[in-house]
């Protein structure tokens, strides 16, 4: 059962919480988190699989899973910290199957929110419904992490099934079209069976679920599988091609142009292309007037809106000056506003950030290096997902191995 | 851990009671193994987090002895689930509904044999019909009659006029005591029982608050800008309740503005343990008096819980932007630290709301606005939960049980917030023009009296 052993530090805080500290943690978008019974688990997505950090606010509830995630030594140490016998101790933790499952579930939730899909970078988006159904299966497999207290939003099998059941039929087709000896087929079957099983406990019902139930009860059709392109089953957004937007203003003299900051934290997923170069601006002089145009490349699946939704925050020479509302035109969010520059100002230092009002938690220090690291991580994962995996490997049994949504996305890669 | 080991040793025939990894399901442990096999009340040495080797061995033996019965339980559960599917029943969680029944069936009949199908069908139907006519439909029929309506309106008028109209006394002492109780509740060592709680109940401090609401008192909470009712009514004074004949979950008014129908609708909507409720005519009859009682509640311990909840709610800081005030108690610190944890999870899940009012408003700003006045959502949920207890004659007998409710409501308010952010973001991403944020909080309210 035990694969490896690492040491973790268990400490007691002044407020009675007990912490199991793993490695250090970077910006928000590099953390995978999971709300479980009595605690929050955290993994750094940029590092190799490790036991999670835990902030345990209810030790009694957490004891139902602590030993199964970290091994008995950590469970005992946490108990000792909770009762005050110890306040700070280092103990070896096991890498258990439940720790692997939890890490995978945490990563799946992370991917649903932060996957840096980008047309400019050639990183395909993950199909949200395929990912959602795999999260159903993983949540079901990690049931031991959750209890009945109704305060664990990640124990959300019912909502996930409700939101993503449109992918059930395509997943069934994909499964039937995949040679049964492959890992992908096994993974598909495992996900579908777990969804069926999980649906029982959640008052979920519907045509797609009944078809799933029926299909799983039948023997697999033994005709030779017809090759099916998984991508074609899920495509929702056709014909994304980066059309250069119409120029907003004709005329004027360009006095400066540059790139802005694309801070993923300041707007929700699915709005802006995740590339570092997605935000750009042009400053123009029209007589004595100074204007700025901002263009932001839209996310592959961004909503088409009639009105402005995002805004660009414009800073001049270190002062946050104004906001420019951005409206969607073709594949670009764009807008223009007056710039308060003295006529003599020839080399203004202009900073542009894009944000969704009401969502924006505020600007934070530069995170460019971490964003690059995330892009490199998903490129590696997609490259792995594109490789057909040899049969009879245990890859899918543990926490490693690509998600089905990654396999589907990686197969679609040629389009980018 | 011992349970897990003993369980796995019983072999693969327990599949329907086990999780995908072979461990017993959380509900198997909670509904079958602990209450029906281990019975910690009979074996106090099992009721600890870590067992010594000797009790561990006994526990292991106890579970293994029940092996045959557990295997039969598992088979009954599989059969009941299949029967439920065949009958098209989807309400409720099958494990909650059937686990204990299956254990009983296994004791009585052993493994399912001939005739088991009919038996299973009878159990599934019986469980599904257990509400005994205590339904929203029955309430609707009962109140549809015009004469009935007129009679109830008359009774309400008399009861409302007959309220004891003594002038509201000073609430400062009551609020100070509430602070003491809350200080005792939220500590790191878990809730301590505070004698102040019982003295508040005996002194009728909850009733005092209820009368202060009728008298339009202000300054109750030590902050001049907050009304005494903290949003329990939208008006200055709670109005006389009406009978009403319909309700919609999406548009339920503030608790004290609700009609008789609306108050009982919320109680009846919850599906669990409906058979424990009074019958519909009895429910309606008692609600007349209750709705005209201080805070719309009969039981004084529940009214004191409103007072405690108010004192807790006015010190909540979900956005983490306020300085802790000197009057904040251990309970405030406990709940506010949970909000900080939640904020950190929401940042990691890319589900933020701007902590400061945004100049451009934005659809999410309404959610942030609710977080700036957290007492409204808190009091609304708390009242529904307490009302559910009042209807079921379930007083809060000590400070620890009061704290369990207050704390549970604080968690629900937080869960509501996350659900609303999620649904607002989904609406934004899915549709073109920004639309109103769905009121997940209101929908969730129907679940309240269930958890009472």
Residue B49 lies in a domain: yes
Q: Which among B94, B334, B355 has the least Cβ separation from residue A201?
A: B94
Cα(A389)–Cα(A398) distance, integer angstroms: 14
pLDDT digits (tens, 9 = 90+) for B356-401: 888 887 778 888 888 889 999 999 999 999 999 999 999 999 999 9
pLDDT digits (tens, 9 = 90+) for A334-354: 999 988 877 666 677 899 999
Picking from A85, A114, A143, the residue at the C-terminal end of a domain is A114
* A75: containing domain: 5-114
**A217 DSSP 8-state letter:** H
Q: Which among A16, A268, A358 has the least Cβ separation from residue B350?
A: A268
Mutate to test the interface with B, among A138, A359, A396 (most CBs of B within 10 A): A359
**What average pLDDT does this structure show over B409-426?**
90
Where does the pLDDT of residue B436 fall: very low under 50, low under 70, confident under 90, or very high at 90 and above? very low
Same domain flag for B290 and B388: yes
User: Is residue A287 within 8 Å of residue A237, measured between CB atoms?
Assistant: no
Structure-token pair, residue B306: 């409103």
Q: Do B451 and A356 touch (CB under 8 A)?
A: no
pLDDT digits (tens, 9 = 90+) for A68-107: 999 999 999 999 999 889 989 999 998 889 999 999 999 9
Where does the pLDDT of residue B431 fall: very low under 50, low under 70, confident under 90, or very high at 90 and above? low
Same domain flag for B156 and B99: no
Same domain flag for B245 and B371: yes
Residue A392 lies in a domain: no
Structure-token pair, residue A393: 């490997």
Give the chain A residue whose CA is nearest to the CA of B409.
A151
Write the DSSP assignment of B228-297 as a string of letters. Answer: TTTTSSSSSSPPPPP--S---GGG---GGG--HHHHHHHHHH--TTGGGSPPHHHHHHHHHHHHTSGGG-
Same domain flag for A77 and A226: no
**What average pLDDT does this structure show over B42-71?**
84
Residue B416 lies in a domain: yes
Q: Do A33 and B333 touch (CB under 8 A)?
A: no
Q: Do A307 and B433 touch (CB under 8 A)?
A: yes
* First-last CA distance in chain B: 31
Cα(B16)–Cα(B13) distance, integer angstroms: 8
Mutate to test the interface with A, among B341, B344, B350, B364 (most CBs of A within 10 A): B350
Same domain flag for B203 and B99: no
Looking at CA atoms only, how far is residue A203 from chain B in angstroms?
Answer: 5
Picking from B101, B128, B155, the residue at the C-terminal end of a domain is B128
Q: Which among B20, B354, B433 has the least Cβ separation from residue A359?
A: B354
Same domain flag for A34 and A134: no
Residue A242 lies in a domain: no
Q: Which residue has the higher pLDDT, B185 or B452?
A: B185
Same domain flag for B33 and B174: no
Question: Is the predicted pLDDT of residue B314 greater than 80, yes or no?
Answer: yes
Residue B322 lies in a domain: yes
Q: Do A265 and B94 touch (CB under 8 A)?
A: no
Same domain flag for A281 and A204: no
- Please state the ipTM of this predicted complex: 0.90
Name A233's Cβ contacts closer than 8 Å, sequence gap at least 6.
A170, A173, A174, A408
Per-position pLDDT tens, chain A of length 416: 445 578 899 999 887 889 998 666 788 999 999 999 999 999 999 987 778 999 999 999 999 999 999 999 999 999 999 988 998 999 999 888 999 999 999 999 999 999 999 999 999 999 999 999 999 999 999 999 998 777 788 888 888 998 899 899 999 999 988 888 888 888 999 999 999 988 877 777 778 888 888 888 887 766 555 666 666 666 554 455 555 555 555 567 888 889 999 999 999 999 999 999 999 999 988 888 889 999 999 988 776 665 668 999 999 888 777 899 998 887 899 999 988 877 666 677 899 999 999 899 888 877 899 999 999 999 999 999 988 665 444 444 445 689 999 999 988 755 44
Q: Do A143 and B19 touch (CB under 8 A)?
A: yes
Looking at CA atoms only, how far is residue B205 from chain A in angstroms?
Answer: 30
CA atoms within 13 A on the CB side of B397: 2
**A91 DSSP 8-state letter:** E
Q: Do B362 and A362 touch (CB under 8 A)?
A: no
Q: Do B21 and A270 touch (CB under 8 A)?
A: no
Please report residues of A whose CB lies closer than 8 A to that of B367: 358
Question: Is the predicted pLDDT of residue B183 greater than 80, yes or no?
Answer: yes
Write the DSSP assignment of A261-325 as a string of letters. Answer: B--GGGS-TTSB--STTSEEEEEEEETTEEEEEEEEEBPTTPPP-SS--EEEEEEETTEEEEEEE
Same domain flag for B18 and B157: no
Residue B203 lies in a domain: yes
Same domain flag for B118 and B254: no
Looking at CA atoms only, how far is residue A394 from chain B in angstroms?
Answer: 16
Please report residues of A whose CB lies closer than 8 A to that of B363: 358
Where does the pLDDT of residue B433 fall: very low under 50, low under 70, confident under 90, or very high at 90 and above? very low
Q: Which residue has the higher pLDDT, B271 or A293?
A: A293
Q: Whose structure tokens read 């019902």?
A: A205
Residue B47 lies in a domain: yes
Give the chain A residue whose CA is nearest to the CA of B427.
A303
Looking at CA atoms only, how far is residue A83 from chain B in angstroms?
Answer: 9
Q: Do A98 and B415 touch (CB under 8 A)?
A: no
Looking at CA atoms only, how far is residue B416 from chain A in angstroms?
Answer: 10
Q: Do B26 and A143 touch (CB under 8 A)?
A: yes
Give the chain A residue whose CA is nearest to the CA of B98.
A201
Q: Do B338 and A57 touch (CB under 8 A)?
A: yes
Q: Do A68 and B23 touch (CB under 8 A)?
A: yes
Cα(B377)–Cα(B384) distance, integer angstroms: 11
Please report residues of B whose CB lies closer than 8 A to that of A149: 411
Please report residues of A whose CB lies closer than 8 A to that of B354: 357-362
Residue A272 lies in a domain: yes
Same domain flag for A154 and A95: no
Picking from B128, B159, B188, the residue at the C-terminal end of a domain is B128
Q: What percent of chain B has pLDDT over 90?
A: 43
Same domain flag for B392 and B295: yes
Based on the structure, what is the number of domains in chain A?
A: 3
Question: Is the predicted pLDDT of residue B234 greater than 50, yes or no?
Answer: yes
Please report residues of B whose CB lies closer than 8 A to that of A28: 347-348, 350
Q: What angle do CA B361, B366, B370 make, to 5 degrees?
A: 135
Same domain flag for B113 and B198: no
Q: Which among A113, A144, A151 has the least Cβ separation from residue B23?
A: A144
Cα(B443)–Cα(B437) distance, integer angstroms: 13
Residue A87 lies in a domain: yes
Please report residues of B whose CB lies closer than 8 A to that of A18: none
Same domain flag for A53 and A71: yes
Cα(B136)–Cα(B133) distance, integer angstroms: 9
Looking at CA atoms only, how far is residue A346 from chain B in angstroms?
Answer: 30
Based on the structure, what is the number of domains in chain B?
A: 2
Same domain flag for B263 and B184: yes
Burial (CB count <10 Å: 0-12, 13-18, 19+), residue A4: exposed
Give the chain A residue whose CA is nearest to the CA of B414.
A151
Same domain flag for B203 and B315: yes
**B24 DSSP 8-state letter:** B
Same domain flag for B32 and B89: yes
Picking from B106, B128, B150, the residue at the C-terminal end of a domain is B128
Cα(B395)–Cα(B297) distance, integer angstroms: 11
Q: How many CB pairs under 8 A join A and B?
A: 164
Q: Do B354 and A149 touch (CB under 8 A)?
A: no
Res A227: pLDDT:
62
Give the chain A residue whose CA is nearest to the CA of B428.
A303
Residue B135 lies in a domain: no
* B300: containing domain: 142-451
CA B64 to chain CA centroid, nearest Å: 36
Same domain flag for A277 and A328: yes
Residues facing B320 on adjacent strands = none
């Amino acid at each position: 059962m035990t694969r490896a052993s690492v040491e973790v530090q268990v400490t007691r805080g002044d407020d009675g919480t007990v912490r199991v500290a793993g490695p250090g943690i970077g910006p928000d978008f590099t953390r995978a988190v999971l709300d479980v019974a009595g605690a929050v688990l955290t993994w750094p997505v940029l590092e190799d699989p490790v036991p999670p950090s835990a902030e345990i606010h209810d030790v009694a509830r957490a004891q139902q899973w602590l030993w199964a995630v970290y091994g008995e030594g950590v469970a005992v140490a946490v108990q000792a910290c909770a009762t005050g016998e110890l306040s700070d101790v280092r103990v070896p933790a096991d890498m258990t199957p439940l720790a692997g499952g939890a890490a995978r579930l945490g990563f799946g939730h992370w991917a649903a929110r932060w996957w840096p899909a980008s047309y400019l970078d050639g990183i395909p988006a993950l199909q949200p419904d395929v990912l959602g159904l795999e999260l159903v299966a993983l949540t079901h497999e990690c049931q031991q992490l959750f209890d009945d207290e109704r305060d664990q939003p990640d124990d959300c099998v019912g909502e996930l099934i409700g939101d993503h059941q449109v992918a059930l039929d395509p997943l069934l087709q994909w499964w039937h079209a995949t040679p049964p000896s492959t890992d992908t087929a096994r993974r598909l079957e495992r996900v579908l069976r777990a969804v069926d099983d999980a649906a029982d406990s959640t008052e979920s019902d519907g045509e797609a679920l009944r078809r799933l139930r029926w299909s799983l009860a039948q023997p697999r059709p033994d005709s030779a599988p017809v090759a099916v392109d998984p991508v074609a089953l899920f495509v929702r957004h056709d014909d994304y091609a980066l059309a250069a937007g119409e120029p907003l203003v004709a005329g004027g003299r360009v006095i400066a142009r540059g790139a802005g900051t694309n801070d993923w934290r300041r707007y929700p997923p699915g709005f802006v292309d995740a590339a570092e170069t997605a935000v750009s601006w042009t400053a123009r002089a029209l007589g004595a007037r100074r204007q700025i145009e901002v263009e932001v490349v839209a996310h592959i699946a961004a909503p088409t809106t009639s009105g402005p939704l995002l805004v660009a925050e414009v800073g001049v020479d270190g002062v946050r000056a104004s906001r420019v509302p951005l409206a969607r035109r073709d594949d670009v969010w764009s807008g223009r506003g007056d710039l308060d520059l003295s006529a003599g100002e020839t080399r203004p230092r202009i900073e542009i950030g894009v944000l969704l009002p009401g969502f924006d938690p505020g600007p934070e220090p530069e995170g460019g290096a971490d964003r690059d690291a995330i892009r490199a991580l998903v490129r590696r994962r997609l490259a792995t997902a594109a490789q057909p995996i040899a049969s009879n490997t245990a890859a899918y049994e543990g926490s490693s191995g690509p998600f089905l949504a990654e396999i589907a996305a990686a197969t679609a890669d040629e389009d980018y | 851990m011992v349970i897990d080991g003993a369980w796995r040793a019983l072999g693969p025939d327990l599949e329907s009671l086990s999780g995908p990894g072979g461990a017993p399901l959380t509900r198997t442990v909670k509904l079958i193994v602990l209450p029906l096999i281990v019975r910690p009340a009979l074996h106090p040495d099992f009721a600890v987090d870590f067992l010594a080797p000797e009790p561990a061995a006994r526990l292991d033996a106890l579970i293994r002895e029940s092996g045959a019965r557990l295997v039969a339980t598992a088979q009954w559960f599989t059969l009941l689930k299949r029967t439920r599917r065949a009958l098209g029943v989807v309400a409720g969680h099958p494990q909650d509904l059937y686990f204990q029944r299956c254990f009983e069936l296994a004791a009585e009949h052993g493994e399912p044999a001939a005739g088991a199908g009919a038996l299973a069908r009878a159990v599934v139907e019986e469980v599904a019909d257990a509400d005994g006519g205590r339904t929203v439909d029955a309430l609707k029929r009962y109140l549809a009659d015009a004469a009935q309506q007129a009679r109830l309106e008359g009774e309400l008028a008399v009861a409302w006029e007959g309220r004891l109209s003594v002038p509201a006394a000073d609430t400062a002492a009551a609020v100070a005591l509430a602070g003491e109780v809350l200080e005792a509740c939220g500590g790191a060592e878990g809730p301590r029982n505070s004698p102040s709680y019982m003295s508040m109940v005996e002194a009728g401090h909850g009733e005092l608050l209820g009368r202060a609401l009728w008298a339009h008192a202000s300054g109750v909470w030590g902050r001049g800008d907050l009304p005494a009712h903290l949003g329990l009514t939208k008006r200055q004074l709670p109005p006389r309740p009406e009978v009403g004949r319909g309700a919609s979950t999406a548009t339920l008014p503030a608790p004290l503005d609700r009609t008789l129908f609306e108050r009982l609708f919320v109680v009846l909507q919850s599906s669990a343990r409906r058979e424990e409720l009074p019958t519909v005519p009895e429910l309606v009859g008692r609600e007349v008096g209750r709705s005209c009682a201080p805070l719309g509640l009969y039981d004084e311990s529940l009214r004191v819980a409103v007072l405690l909840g108010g004192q807790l709610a006015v010190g909540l800081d979900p956005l983490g932007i306020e300085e802790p005030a000197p009057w904040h108690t251990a309970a405030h610190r406990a709940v506010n630290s949970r909000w900080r944890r939640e904020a950190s999870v929401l940042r990691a899940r890319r589900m933020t709301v701007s902590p400061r009012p945004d100049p451009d408003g934005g659809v999410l700003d309404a959610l942030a606005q609710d977080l700036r006045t957290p007492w409204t959502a808190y009091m609304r949920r708390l009242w529904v939960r307490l009302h559910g207890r009042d209807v079921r004659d379930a007083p809060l007998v000590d400070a620890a049980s009061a704290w369990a409710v207050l704390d549970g409501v604080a968690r629900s308010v937080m869960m509501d917030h996350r659900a609303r952010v999620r649904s607002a973001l989904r609406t934004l991403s899915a549709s073109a023009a920004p639309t109103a944020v769905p009121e997940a909080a209101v929908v969730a309210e129907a679940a309240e009296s269930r958890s009472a």
